[in-house]
Amino acid sequence: MQRRRFLGLTAAGAATAALAPALTACGSDGGSGSKTLRVVAADYGDSEANNSQKYWDELARAFEAENKGVKVDVSVLSWTEVDKKVAEMVAAGKAPDVAQIGAYADFAAAGKLYSADQLLTIPTQADIIAQIARAGEVARVQYGLPFVSSTRLLFYNKTLFAKAGIAKAPESWDELQAAAKKLQTAGVKVPYGLPLGPEEAPAETMMWMLSGGSGYTDHNGTYTINSDENVKTFEWLRDELVGKGLTGSLDPSRTNRQNVFDAFCRGEVGMLNGHPTLMKQAEAKGIKYGTAPLPGKGGKAKSTMGVADWIMAFKANGHREEIGRFLDFVYTTKNVLGFTNQYDLLPVTTSASEQMAGDTRKKHLKPFLDQLENAEFYPVDKTSWAKVSKAFKEKIGSVVVKGGDPASVLGEIQREADATELAGHAK
């Protein structure tokens, strides 16, 4: 995913190769009057030891024990190829019954998916956090069911802050700049880590847009890429952060997120925007860190970026009733927490979020949970988003270097986005 990479996760390639042949089959009847649901899911593990296949296999067996006559066959693939594999299956007329992948909008627009209200019971639908559920809508109908989520906070190195004489995390851009200057004076290699390289440029871009009072779209879902606020945000980054050397030795236009994360874990970065998995990476390297809400133009940002991965159900095999029962089972509090606790991700249901918030073992995730209700998500409901995201990966880094032109580049991407949207509506 881009989406899964935003959650900072990789996959076990060996498992992918072993499981790939299972994707040739579509949903089918399993004989003796039973039905088989074919599920394709993404791997959130970073080794064989924590491969996601174990979770899905245990969940499938538990579901089968309670639902005689329904079998569940799950194939777990790496994030590097799961979206592509599902698209190929659908194109070949062999769609799975359920896919847990990164994007749903193209399939929804093509009429291939069941809507949420065709699948889930009312209590299950009501339990899904409304802000995330809305991110799964196309034309006000929910087709994407959120599976896991993540939010972003400002991370800072407590040791470097103490060395530079900084008493607390910055809450505004002016305070962030002042802190970065102190870190620079104290000899910190990278006062502020700004990854606008191709790996995760759309994420860093969105966080800065939100902190500047705008975003990718307005409340009506219309692209606002070249809004005055967004242009001013990137002019500030160009002139007041990058232009003054406060991003240090890393070139923001070419720096990827993992490069900055790695440098933070080496004790070289004073501040950066990050997600929950950075905590484990930093702790493993003995980094003393703190987290805080994103600084905004005139104070704390009103919202942060949220990321979700999605579950969708395909109509092709006609197993609506069985899929609905299976997904109701997936969204029970026990099963939601069984997955999110394993990978330090955030639940997408209110009941699981409340339980996690009360779990002292998960208190490190509470600041991220607190941000979830007001988080803003990528406009993944737009079939144009994939192309727009690609444009940001290719172009946004150029606006913060010397001579960069935010108004021109954002205007160019805005025109591309509008044209892509228009072409999609004309089909």
* CA–CA dist 267, 261 (Å, integer): 10
Q: Looking at the structure, do residues 93 and 209 belong to the same domain, yes or no?
A: no
Domain CATH number, residue 373: 3.40.190.10
Q: Looking at the structure, do residues 344 and 406 belong to the same domain, yes or no?
A: no
Residues 243-280 pLDDT 10s: 999 999 889 999 999 999 999 999 999 999 999 989 98
Q: Looking at the structure, do residues 163 and 276 belong to the same domain, yes or no?
A: yes
Q: Looking at the structure, do residues 277 and 211 belong to the same domain, yes or no?
A: yes
pLDDT of residue 50: 84
User: What is the CB neighbour count within 10 angstroms for residue 95?
Assistant: 25
Residues 211-246 pLDDT 10s: 999 999 998 889 999 999 999 999 999 999 999 999
Mean pLDDT of the chain: 90
> Coil, strand, or helix at residue 34?
strand
Q: Looking at the structure, do residues 228 and 275 belong to the same domain, yes or no?
A: yes
Tell me, what amino acid is at 227?
S
Q: Looking at the structure, do residues 113 and 45 belong to the same domain, yes or no?
A: yes
Q: Looking at the structure, do residues 198 and 297 belong to the same domain, yes or no?
A: yes
% of the chain residues with pLDDT over 90: 80
Q: Looking at the structure, do residues 248 and 166 belong to the same domain, yes or no?
A: yes
**Least confident residue range of 19-28, 145-154, 163-172, 298-307:** 19-28
Residues 361-403 pLDDT 10s: 999 999 999 998 889 999 998 989 989 999 999 999 999 999 9
Q: Looking at the structure, do residues 176 and 232 belong to the same domain, yes or no?
A: yes
Q: Looking at the structure, do residues 262 and 320 belong to the same domain, yes or no?
A: no
* CA–CA dist 183, 175 (Å, integer): 12
> Coil, strand, or helix at residue 93?
coil
pLDDT of 5 higher than 70: no
pLDDT of 360 higher than 70: yes
Q: Looking at the structure, do residues 162 and 272 belong to the same domain, yes or no?
A: yes
Residues 283-340 pLDDT 10s: 999 999 999 999 999 999 999 999 999 999 999 999 999 999 999 999 999 999 999 9
* CA–CA dist 271, 292 (Å, integer): 11
pLDDT of residue 102: 86
Residues 207-216 pLDDT 10s: 999 999 999 9
- Domain end, chosen from 362, 377, 392, is at 377
Cα 113 to chain centroid distance, Å, stands at 21
E-strand ranges in 50-152 read: 70-77, 98-101, 137-138, 141-142, 145-151
pLDDT of residue 20: 41
> Coil, strand, or helix at residue 149?
strand
**Count: domains in the chain:** 2
Q: Looking at the structure, do residues 178 and 319 belong to the same domain, yes or no?
A: no
Q: Which domain holds residue 339?
A: 2-150+307-377
The DSSP result for 227-243, as a single string, is -HHHHHHHHHIIIIIIT
- In this structure, what token pair is assigned to residue 10? 């990789």
- In this structure, what token pair is assigned to residue 395? 């172009």
